[in-house]
Amino acid sequence: MKLVVALLAFFLMGACASAPSASNGQAGAMRVMTFNVRYDNPQDGADAWPNRRGHVASLIAFHDPDVIGLQEVLLHQRDQLAADLGQYAFVGVGRDDGKDGGEFAPLGYRRDRLEMIEHGHFWLSPTPDAPSVGWDAALPRITTWARLEPVGGGREILAVNTHFDHRGMEARRMSAIQVRDWVKENRKACEMVVVVGDFNAPPSEAAYREIIAGGMLTDARLASETPPFGPAGTFSGFDVRETRDAPIDHVFVNAGARVIRHGVITQHDAGRLPSDHYPVLADIAGGACPAATD
């Protein structure tokens, strides 16, 4: 099994480990990842963060995404991963106070391949500009966004990373509408879009359907030109034998983007997993230049 995973990783890397490029207005291939790394909870015992930090960092470094969205990241976890992964810059704030408090949903990008144009965040609630709990959510939830440009110029990328509530179904539905509408209002013409995160919603749920409503965004797994690799489910609960019928961690891309491949990575070390969620990878290319949104 490990050999199969290693070979897959080798071929995944080969397609787009190089810097994004631009040709005739079309952005080159780019790798995106979403990864809920599980917050540092000492009660996790053998699966507690100090025992997983190295595995998380090495997995990210090996698969080498250009853009990565992380979830459940506490301040010290963000700082440790930034130290372990010096090739990445991270942006984002804590959801409790808009500074350092509580979990982050940070976006990371390869600083040698991409340049930051601007970035920001908003809360998933009716008051998105201030720390808040929305609808029937159990906790405050936050979204981080960044507008990036390939080093040397090229097609801009609007990257969005989010983490929907784990209990409030209405909160997830409304959060999906909020994120979708925010992208529609803020996307520039001809801009690539990637929306990643732990949505806590399988494809059967209203929140998932709302994200893709209107056809602006599409699920990278369904759009993949090659058969999606790995299990359908993305939550493991630290049990490599766990199988779920449907994913809750997703990568969405702008309609018309080419999705070269999509994979759910179940890499483990003698049965020990780096997190209770599997990371999700997608290699994408820009596709035709979209028209400006209304």
pTM above 0.85, yes or no: yes
Could you tell me how many residues make up the chain?
294
- Check whether 165 has a pLDDT greater than 90: yes
- Taking CA atoms, 49 is separated from 42, 45, 129, in Å, by 8, 9, 31
Handedness of CA 166, 169, 172, 174 (dihedral sign): negative
Q: Over the chain, what is the mean pLDDT? A: 90
Question: What would the pLDDT profile of 184-236 be if each residue is shown by its tens digit?
Answer: 999 999 899 999 999 999 999 999 999 999 999 999 999 999 999 999 999 99
Q: How far apart are CA 38 and CA 52, in angstroms?
A: 10
Q: How far apart are CA 174 and CA 179, in angstroms?
A: 9
Percent of the chain predicted with pLDDT > 90: 84
For residue 71, what are the β-bridge partners? 36
Q: C-alpha angle 286/290/294, rounded to 5°?
A: 140
Burial of 39 (0-12, 13-18, 19+ CB in 10 A): middle
Question: What would the pLDDT profile of 21-56 be if each residue is shown by its tens digit?
Answer: 332 233 468 999 999 999 999 999 999 999 999 999
How far is CA 84 from its chain centroid?
19
Kindly state the average pLDDT of the residues 163-176: 98
Q: Is 59 strand, coil or helix?
A: helix
Q: Residue 94 has what pLDDT? A: 98
DSSP H or E run through 220? helix 220-223
Domains parsed from the chain with CATH numbers = 2-285 (3.60.10.10)
